[in-house]
Structure 1
């Protein structure tokens, strides 16, 4: 059975899971959401997956935009089995439940929802784990992905546990979280270490960065993924407020995607 995996990844964790799962399943391809937001027609295979990180207990805004503006516009009849995977560290909150509700509204029911624990890279709240911890998390994730692949191959059904007040959180809290994420870039500043390489401009999944006089400037359409912060080759992008230590270029994932020339 052919599988299409639609993925959003800021720093590479979800991309790693998507690529690893595609290898385990065979006859599968990974499609990055940020690369197809303006494409009107997408191929829907018999098996479709959506993989994304959990941000503040919810799916990122781009996942909502993708499902509502792209996925819902497709011919969904070929889909026989749909699965959801979120990457998280401490908790997934309403992330899976919210995405299930969005898919239901789009006309597609999820058959399987689960999570994979990965390193947390949200430095406003957490310190980047040391190398030993990251290695252990990846080793455990590999086993988890293999188990998930077996479940999907067997077309098992697994639904997310519904936290209390799920619909209230979906309709009332998630929009607030998404608005707060848009303001993340207002906390960025660029130091003299910037070489004007433009990597942040090219890799931003929401095209929130523009280059002015050889330096990046940030708009108000940030997803809060912190990809630019972690992937800056000279660590020139900094927070104006004190954050926890560490950068996470995530070489294990092979995530080096760029969405603009």
Structure 2
């Protein structure tokens, strides 16, 4: 019995992390299931809408005005159900800035402002973050690159705010991928690498799973990085619902 207790004490950190990650995994799966329900409902709304539009444009094929009214009613009910399901998310989605007057100059000011804010915050909280985030601070991007860079930069800022607030020791890197649109969502993948003790990493994962967070954890790997330190490599998606001009 004594040997078992000693073994448990030596591995208490790993046992605690396994329990926390297991609970969080259930939360992530629940969010993913809700997202799948939203996608299914969106497909039904589109189907009903297309039927209504078809009968409105080719009225001679419509069996009766009553059918159009019925389809309109069904579509309205589905939209109401969709909005009700959507309201269960307390997520706060970022607003991506739009630069219309002098896009190149405005974007450059935005980039430098974000860079300064993040490094000041990191220094104040004694967190080490990358010197740069992969965006060129010399020259100007092309007009078609600005929306993509603005999205990536905004998401990186939100991720770094989360990392700094959770108090991790070191953010090794954050690399954004290419965004894609799925149903009502815009999804931006991120590769995140951080170093910290077990408490810091678990706290970050807890923050990541907060209902107000628009980030979802896809996969992760944790390795020993020194005395009481661990290195976590995570694949994270920023999942942003496109509504009300949020993105």
What TM-score comes out, normalization by structure 1 length? Answer: 0.21
Highest Rg: 1 or 2? Answer: 2
